[in-house]
Structure formats: C-alpha cells, structure tokens
Amino acid sequence: MNIYMICAVRNAAEIRVSELREYAEQFRVLGHNVHFPPDDAPQDDPTGEAICATHLAAMRGADEVHVFWDVKSSGSHFDLGMAYALGVRIVPVSCEQPDGPEKSYWKVMCALDSRK
C-alpha cells in the first residue's frame, strides 16, 4: 500500500517529527511505501512550488492519506485539499490541538472516515 502522511513540517517540534518518522517506519517495516513530507520533499525549496509538486505526485499514487492534523500548518491545509480533490481515502490519526464545537476540517475528516 502507498501511504501519504499529512503533518506539520515548517513549525513542527523536532521531537514530534521524530515521533511521526517512527510512525512512518512502522508501516515501511510492514512493506508499505510511505511519503513522509519532512524527509521526502525538498525542504530547501525557496518558493514552495517544488514541495507542492512533490506532494501532489506522491498523493496521486497514494492509497491512503494518514493525517496528523495541525490547524496551524498552512501546508497541511493545502495537502488536505489535494487529498479531498483527488478522492484519496483520508485516515484521521490525530488532532494536534483541541477541536472545538464549531465546524472544522478535523470533523470533516472524521465524517469521511466513518463512511468507509
């Protein structure tokens, strides 16, 4: 299976990135391909276009998108929109901030996942 991970990159704490890297490795050990943005996209890209193109190519080949939702991550919003538009199965894994009672992308992801 091909898995794409949505997670914060730019403002993520190194300890969180390490935890997420371990999550990816657990699936790789099982024989899955995992696109992990901090490692698998050109983070030295000065505009972000190469990052977006890399993510789009990986997402087009994904069977599932595993989401570690950080509402403060603008890249995660962009990636979630791509996943939704491409119709890739979205698997909500964790929400990094408390989710309030109002409508939210986290609620959308959970609702989509409950339909599968």
The model's pTM: 0.92
What CATH code is carried by the domain that includes residue 13? Answer: 3.40.50.10400
Q: What local confidence, expressed as pLDDT, does residue 116 receive?
A: 59
For 110, the enclosing helix (H) or strand (E) is: helix 105-114
Residue from 89, 88, 93, 84 nearest 8 by CA: 93
AA letter at 97: Q
pLDDT in tens, 24-71: 999 999 999 999 999 999 888 899 899 999 999 999 999 999 999 999
| Contact assessment for residue 75 and residue 37, using Cβ atoms and an 8 Å cutoff | yes
Rounded CA-CA distance 2/91 in Å is 13
Cα R_g (the chain), whole angstroms:
13
AA letter at 103: K
The helix, strand and coil proportions of the chain, stated in percent and rounded to the nearest 5, come to 45, 20, 35
State mean pLDDT over 86-93: 96
Is it the case that residue 113 has pLDDT exceeding 90?
A: no
Is it the case that residue 86 has pLDDT exceeding 80?
A: yes
Domain count, the chain: 1
Question: pLDDT band for position 98 (50/70/90)?
Answer: confident
For the beta carbon of residue 22, count every other beta carbon within 10 angstroms: 9
Q: Which domain holds residue 54?
A: 2-114
Q: Which residue has the higher pLDDT, 43 or 20?
A: 20
